[in-house]
Structures are given as C-alpha cells and as structure tokens.
Amino acid sequence: MYYLTIAHTINSYEYRKSSSMVSTTTDGRVAEEFTADVCIYGWVPRVAITCAPMNTIDAVDTEDTEFLKRKGLPYYESPVYLNQKEVALRCGFLPHFIVGFMVGSKFYVNPAISRSMDKMQEMRSFRELNVFKHQVITYGLDVDQSNFEEFCRKTKFKRYYTFDGKSYEIHCLYEER
C-alpha cells in the first residue's frame, strides 16, 4: 500500500482519476488548497489489523515508514510533499468515519452522529460509555445505508465502493463509453 500511495502522489492528474487511492490530509489549510467545492472532515481509525476482529479502512500515512525500515525495504526519507501531511485512503472515506462536510461556509453534520449521541444518553455507567466510545472510534458510526445505490444515482458520482471488512469492491453507476 505504501508504494501505491507514493505512485498515486507523484503521478499525473490523469493517473489519479483511475487510482484506487484518495489523498487526504491532517491539515485543514492544506485541504482548503486542494478543494474547490466540498471538504470532508472525518477520522481514520488507528488499530493494528491483527488486534481487530475485522479491518476497518486501509490508510497509509506516508510519514510512517517504521514497518518498511524493520523489513529492510526501500522508503523515502521524507514525504514527497513535505507540508501536505498526506494520509492516503484506499478508495475513499467510509461514511462511518465522516463527521461532516463543508460546502462554502456551511457545515453539514453526518446524521449518524445524532444517533450515536442518543445512544450515549442511554449509557448507565462510565465503563459502558467508554466501551461505546472505543467502538465508534474503531469501527465508525452506525450509518443507515439502505437504498445507497439509489441515492448515489441522484448525485454526480460515477462510482462508489463497498467494503465488507475483508475486501473492497468498486461499483460503476453508469456504463463507461
């Protein structure tokens, strides 16, 4: 994944259109430089895959080369673009990890956050609340995805992906011409 991320970062715009990686950043100012219409805010869970019962999202922080160093594999001493603080996501953000998005000066909150807050009100102990918080941070919000493809067809999206905890699948909404 690290090498795919580097290829995604250094290659041309035409390649990025067909890349399965999506560039994100941990710096809001950098995001504003690269977005003309909408900026999505979310998080990427930091869980060792061996500890989790299922994978949640593939992400590569190009500054984290510790694994490559231990294995004796080649790596960049510094990120391709130093100030971008890039984290590449495989296929994109899952809605379970989206806090909301900004269009112009308006921020739209993911409705799943309200559902999570309602569930938190039902918690009877600090321990129960901590377990719930850990679940949300690790596995994301509880998102209602019924009629998702139908909803996507009402947008300008051309494709979307699904992830079942083991594999990614890209779905095209319209026939390629």
Give the whole-angstrom CA distance, residue 97 versus residue 113: 10
Q: What is the pLDDT of residues 24-57, one digit of tens each?
A: 888 888 888 878 788 889 988 765 444 445 556 6
* β-sheet bridge partners, residue 42: 98
Q: Is the pTM of this model over 0.85?
A: no
Helices (H), 11-58: 13-18, 28-34
Domain boundaries, the chain: 2-109
Q: What is the 3-state secondary structure (H, E, C) of 145-167?
A: CCCHHHHHHCCCCCEEEEECCCC
> Mean pLDDT, the chain, as a whole number?
79
**CA angle, residues 91, 92, 98, in degrees to nearest 5:** 155
- In contact, 48 and 56? CB cutoff 8 Å: no
Is 170 exposed, middle or buried (CB count within 10 Å of its CB: 0-12, 13-18, 19+)? exposed
pLDDT tens, position by position, for the chain (177 residues)?
777 777 667 775 666 566 677 778 888 888 888 787 888 899 887 654 444 455 566 676 766 778 778 888 877 777 777 777 777 787 778 888 999 998 888 999 999 999 999 999 999 999 999 999 988 988 889 888 888 888 888 887 788 888 777 778 888 887 655
